[in-house]
Amino acid sequence: MRFELYVAARYLKAKRRQAVVGVVTAISIAGVAAGVAALIIALAITNGMQRDLQDRLVDSSAHVQLMRVKNDGIRDWQPLLARLSKLPHVVAAAPELDEQVVVTHGAREGYALVEGIVPAYEKNVSKVLTGASPEAIEALEPPSETASPSGPTDRPLILGKDLADSIGATIGDSVTLISPQGDLTPLGMVPNVVHFRLAGTYHTGFFQYDQAWGFMRLADAQRLYDEPDLVSVISFRVDNLNNAPQIAKQIEQAAGPGFQTTNWKDQNKELFRALALERIVTFIVITLIVIVAALNILIALTMMVMEKTRDIAVLMSFGVDPGQVRRIFLLQGLLISVVGTALGLILGYIGAWAGSQYHVHLSPDVYAIDTLPFAPRALDGLLVSAVSISISLLATLYPSSTAASIRPAEALRYE
């Protein structure tokens, strides 16, 4: 093998009468490098998108949620919450009363899922409120028994920053919530309209939450939705994300008949399925760049075989067998692909590192996140290298077989 490798390297370094062969070889190396670098960067972005979306979804929402099958709310929830909190693998639990409402401020309006919560419980299940000020969170603490709920200053509300900006509300402003769960009158259903004080905003960087979520005190939500001492959901945080579906079944069984659970994987399976499909499609599309570079390798080696026909015939007349000739050109293609792949890996990882250091801002209403994430992985480099080298080696089969089939007598007949 040392002989074949020596000749292959010598052919690549040697000056040729036909400079176009050298140019095509350089283009082949550049093409492989460009394809590999593009694949590394594209996979890093896909990995980063999946990582950031998953982390923000998991941090901002409960791992498991328990609710009634009939959707009639959970009554007498305190003993149930205390009992289910002691189940194995359950880290924390929190009661919630959720409702879709219209949020208005002046002439502007928006739509939000406003949750009635108890901060002492909620902060152990979700990390959304970590983006709010301590004063705003403290305002959501349960009111004292002597407190009067008559005025809007007694009803604090926290909204996502994007939602607050869209309706033009600032901290301290009076915000109106309109709930469809109103009173039945002779004129029909009259929506329940209640004024709240915007106690603060939060920012997670995830548009789905910052634009469409809000939080109020559980007692205020029960009055707004006319549901005294009732919660719609009990949310849980578990010790192992990947086992959330199995733990959800245990919680459902412990809660008894009439209850059902959902988990973060079921709630977001379409999103992660789309990301997985995007990763596959990206890999296939950008691999076409490597295939084009491999075609350049085929052209370069074919032209080299034509240029070196006399040299090959001389080598074979001195006893070099066809198998060794085939390996010379296979090694030439391998050297081109290895050099191009190595350069591509270096450029790709440098590009991914630069992208992670210098954030590229995105439109959160389109991409759900506000910066372009990069998460390069060593495993992706190994996979891309294997694909690049394999495709390049396939491109060497024809020219190497052509070189091995040269007959010395015919090649040297007119020399």
Please provide the DSSP assignment of 58-99 as one string: HHHS-SEEEEETT---EESHHHHHHHHTTSTTEEEEEEEEEE
Distances (CA, A) of 415 to 317, 408, 412: 14, 11, 5
Which value, in Å, is the radius of gyration of the alpha carbons in the chain? 33
Strand bridging mode 90-105 / 174-185 = antiparallel
Contacts for 244 with CB less than 8 Å, ≥ 6 apart: 63, 64, 238, 263, 264, 265
Q: How far apart are the first and last CA of the chain?
A: 29
**CA–CA dist 308, 328 (Å, integer):** 12
- pLDDT (0 to 100) of residue 150: 46
pLDDT, position 415: 57
pLDDT tens profile 172-187: 899 998 887 666 556 5
Q: What is the pLDDT of residues 106-120, one digit of tens each?
A: 888 898 889 999 888
Centre a 10 Å sphere on the Cβ of residue 178 and count the other Cβ atoms it contains. 15
Dist CA 147 CA 258 (whole Å): 36
Tokens of residue 49, six digits: 């998108």
Quick one: which of 32, 26, 20, 13 has its CA closest to 303? 20
What is the CB-side half-sphere exposure of residue 291 using CA atoms within 13 A?
6
pLDDT at residue 364 in the model: 65
Contact predicate 366/268, CB 8 Å: no
Rounded CA separation 392/333 (Å): 7
The total of other beta-carbon atoms located within 10 Å of residue 211's CB is 21
Report how far residue 72's alpha carbon sits from residue 183's, in angstroms, rounded to the nearest whole number: 17
Spans of the chain, pLDDT less than 70: 1, 11-21, 143-153, 181-190, 363-368, 370, 409-415
Q: In Å, how far from its chain's centre is CA 58? A: 12
- Distance from the Cα of residue 261 to its chain's centroid: 25
